[in-house]
Chain A
Amino acid sequence: EAQVTQNPRYLITVTGKKLTVTCSQNMNHEYMSWYRQDPGLGLRQIYYSMNVEVTDKGDVPEGYKVSRKEKRNFPLILESPSPNQTSLYFCASSLIDGYEQYFGPGTRLTVT
């Protein structure tokens, strides 16, 4: 089944404790992206990747890192999480840029 998976789905952590949210797609897509969704603010793009080893900043990259070492994986790294990074995170992928995006189920992160 074609899908985008994210892990974990729910995470409660403390300020400053490094964490990684994994994202994987099985559709051989070149374009991958991370978004965060907050009430009243909609979805905002954090980082995107056009292909392996090609990443760029979205609208709200501060406090986040990404890597794209393999085509199927695009992990989101929070080196030192803070409470303002409490949010619902979505990973998405598309065949190439400019095509429909397939979204993962979301990761609900709480930083205390």
Chain B
Amino acid sequence: SQQGEEDPQALSIQEGENATMNCSYKTSINNLQWYRQNSGRGLVHLILIRSNEREKHSGRLRVTLDTSKKSSSLLITASRAADTASYFCAPETSGTYKYIFGTGTRLKVLA
């Protein structure tokens, strides 16, 4: 079955640097969502990008979607220690109402 696969699995950067996480998936999608999770807590929605969109911004977040390559990226600019968390992509498979999350990217921002 389709899965959002994040890359890298773990990322460690200094405060103020940018963080880029990538997501690949296998089949056509309706939309793709990015979520953040702090240490075993509930997930928090960050941004949704639909299949006919190529780029979206929200504050320090920038998401791109390339449906021809079946990939998406999440960029966090000017990272802060509070951005330390796991980040998940969740593509919704076309023709279904199913989401298959990946295993996530663990981001650590060092102060």
Q: How far is the CA of A101 from the CA of B97 in the complex (A)?
A: 12
Chain A min CB distance to B48 (Å): 6
Grouping DSSP codes into helix (H, G, I), strand (E, B) and loop, the A interface class, with mixed when no group exceeds half, is: strand
List B contacts of A41 (CB < 8 A): 103
A98/B42 in contact, CB under 8 A = no
* Chain B stretch 66-111: residues in CB contact (< 8 A) with chain A: 88, 90, 92, 97-104
Q: How far is the CA of A56 from the CA of B99 in the complex (A)?
A: 12
List A contacts of B28 (CB < 8 A): none
A100/B33 in contact, CB under 8 A = yes
Given contacts A42-B104, A98-B31, contact A103 B98 (CB under 8 A): no
B43/A45 in contact, CB under 8 A = no
Interface flags, B38-70, vs A, CB<8A=1, else 0: 001111110010000000000000000000000
Q: How far is the CA of A50 from the CA of B1 in the complex (A)?
A: 21
A50/B42 in contact, CB under 8 A = no
Residues of chain A at interface, number, CB under 8 A: 28
Given contacts A43-B88, A43-B101, A100-B33, contact A105 B45 (CB under 8 A): no
Q: How far is the CA of A41 from the CA of B98 in the complex (A)?
A: 17
Given contacts A45-B99, A103-B42, 11 further A-B contacts (CB under 8 A): A41-B103, A42-B3, A42-B102, A44-B100, A59-B98, A88-B40, A92-B43, A97-B92, A98-B92, A101-B33, A104-B42
Query: Which B residues contact A (CB, under 8 angstroms)?
Result: 1, 3, 30-31, 33, 35, 40-45, 48, 88, 90, 92, 97-104
Q: Which 10 A-B residue pairings sit nearest by Cβ, starting from the closest?
A: A43-B101, A42-B103, A103-B42, A100-B45, A103-B43, A97-B97, A105-B42, A42-B101, A42-B102, A100-B48
